[in-house]
């Protein structure tokens, strides 16, 4: 697996909430008890104080994280073994269908209880995902670049991008009205630069009110994992219609064998292979590069990038070392 810059956010990090989905809890909006967390002791290494100090020497500016050249074989072997254990879902078909088709309810509830603290600003993404495109390559000579963010939420991708470059005209959709309300209430919201953000569920129909073939960049940042895999091909076809010829989809999301997948991998959370439901009722899919390649091939996108990125997360106080894995891809519209 190849390396790439990365950093976790609040929902990705180690305080991922439970895993047992309990509708009563959801209705009362209370969190599950800690004992419902799956114990992943065997995937989290304990090191000595001295080893921890040595690891800290290697730290990057992000603090507790170390970019890895590759995912350690030992971790992967344990993770594969854990995932291969049979886990049969106990979620009924009726609820499975609700999670698939009614996710706006669950996301809206999520944003009502988490407000805009749900996802930290993704400040590190400019350099990792956009700098080359905007300054060195494809769009370097273009004065204005139109970007459409799918599942923009409260703007955790948008605001850092707007801070870093004046080149972007920003558009966004999200299926949660509450998320967009919070986004528009943010003091940094600037209607001159944020041209249009509105409520739309990308799994239900084409995007209304925006002209087709008018976007240079479409972003899917931790959004596709929240969508049921049955919708992926139709969603990519829809997004393709919005792109200019030569436009690109910038994708980043959870990858298979990530620590959070192992935590989810129990009967109360598993819906199907690599697909889980959080206690909030929102979906979480874990991608492999093979799945990304299949989507690209079925929707006739050219894949310019399709790779895993990995980081080692250090808990200095407890002398613990964890591994997180994500996936990044760049889809080019060649039509």
Degrees to nearest 5, angle at CA 108 with 119 and 250:
50
In this complex, which beta carbon is closest to ligand SAM, that of residue 231 or of residue 316? 231
Closest chain position to ligand SAM (CB): 151
C-alpha distances in angstroms, 192 versus 188, 195, 223, 315, 334?
Answer: 11, 6, 25, 42, 31
In this complex, which beta carbon is closest to ligand SAM, that of residue 301 or of residue 326? 326
Half-sphere exposure of 315 (CA within 13 A, CB side): 12
In this complex, which beta carbon is closest to ligand SAM, that of residue 75 or of residue 110? 110
Question: Using only C-alpha atoms, what is the Rg of the chain?
Answer: 20
In this complex, which beta carbon is closest to ligand SAM, that of residue 75 or of residue 215? 215
Nearest to 263 by CA among 324, 326, 327: 324
Interface with ligand SAM (CB under 6 A), residue from 157, 260, 266, 306: 157
Q: How far apart are CA 226 and CA 229, in angstroms?
A: 9
Mask of contacts with ligand SAM, 119-138, x by CB under 6 A?
x--x----------------
Nearest to 333 by CA among 296, 301, 305, 292: 301
Q: Are 199 and 174 in contact (CB under 8 A)?
A: yes
Residues numbered 212 to 251 that lie near ligand SAM (CB under 6 A) are: 221-223, 226-227
CB of 227 to ligand SAM, least distance (A): 5
Interface with ligand SAM (CB under 6 A), residue from 6, 68, 109, 153: 153
**Residue 38 has what DSSP assignment?**
P
Our CA dihedral for 227, 289, 272, 276, rounded to 10 degrees, sits at -50
Residues numbered 263 to 292 that lie near ligand SAM (CB under 6 A) are: none
Residues numbered 162 to 201 that lie near ligand SAM (CB under 6 A) are: 173-176, 179, 201
In this complex, which beta carbon is closest to ligand SAM, that of residue 227 or of residue 322? 227
In this complex, which beta carbon is closest to ligand SAM, that of residue 52 or of residue 226? 226
C-alpha distances in angstroms, 92 versus 96, 271, 285?
Answer: 6, 9, 18
Residues numbered 103 to 122 that lie near ligand SAM (CB under 6 A) are: 103, 107, 119, 122
In this complex, which beta carbon is closest to ligand SAM, that of residue 65 or of residue 108? 108
**Residue 134 has what DSSP assignment?**
I
Interface with ligand SAM (CB under 6 A), residue from 151, 160, 229, 281: 151
Determine the size of the site formed for ligand SAM (CB under 6 A): 22
State the residues that interact with ligand SAM by CB under 6 A: 103, 107, 119, 122, 151-153, 156-157, 173-176, 179, 201-203, 221-223, 226-227
């Amino acid at each position: 697996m190849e390396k790439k810059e990365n950093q976790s956010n609040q929902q990705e990090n180690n305080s991922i909430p439970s895993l047992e989905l309990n509708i009563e809890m959801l209705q009362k909006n209370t969190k599950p008890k800690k004992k419902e967390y799956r114990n992943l002791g065997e995937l989290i290494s304990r090191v000595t104080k001295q080893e921890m100090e040595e690891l800290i020497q290697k730290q990057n500016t992000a603090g507790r994280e170390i970019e890895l050249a590759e995912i350690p074989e030992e971790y992967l072997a344990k993770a594969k073994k854990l995932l291969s254990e049979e886990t049969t879902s106990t979620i009924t078909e009726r609820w499975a269908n609700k999670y698939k088709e009614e996710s706006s309810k669950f996301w809206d509830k999520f944003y009502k209880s988490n407000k805009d603290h749900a996802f930290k600003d993704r400040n590190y993404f400019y350099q990792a995902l956009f700098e080359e495109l905007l300054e060195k390559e494809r769009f370097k000579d273009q004065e204005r670049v139109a970007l459409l963010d799918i599942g923009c939420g409260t703007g955790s991708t948008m605001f850092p991008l707007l801070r870093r470059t004046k080149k972007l005209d920003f558009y966004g959709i999200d299926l949660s009205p509450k998320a967009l309300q919070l986004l528009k209430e943010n003091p940094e919201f600037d209607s001159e630069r944020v041209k249009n953000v509105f409520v739309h569920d990308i799994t239900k129909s084409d995007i209304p009110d925006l002209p087709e073939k008018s976007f240079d960049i479409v972003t899917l940042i931790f959004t596709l994992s929240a969508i049921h895999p049955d919708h992926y091909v139709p969603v990519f076809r829809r997004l393709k219609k919005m792109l200019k010829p030569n436009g690109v989809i910038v994708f980043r999301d959870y990858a298979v064998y990530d620590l959070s997948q192992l935590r989810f991998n129990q009967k109360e959370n598993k819906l199907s292979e690599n697909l889980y439901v959080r206690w909030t009722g929102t979906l979480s899919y874990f991608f492999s590069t093979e799945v990304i390649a299949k989507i690209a091939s079925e929707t006739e996108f050219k894949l310019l990038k399709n790779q895993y990125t990995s980081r080692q997360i250090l808990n200095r106080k407890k002398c613990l070392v964890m591994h997180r894995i994500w996936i990044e891809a760049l889809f080019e519209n060649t039509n």
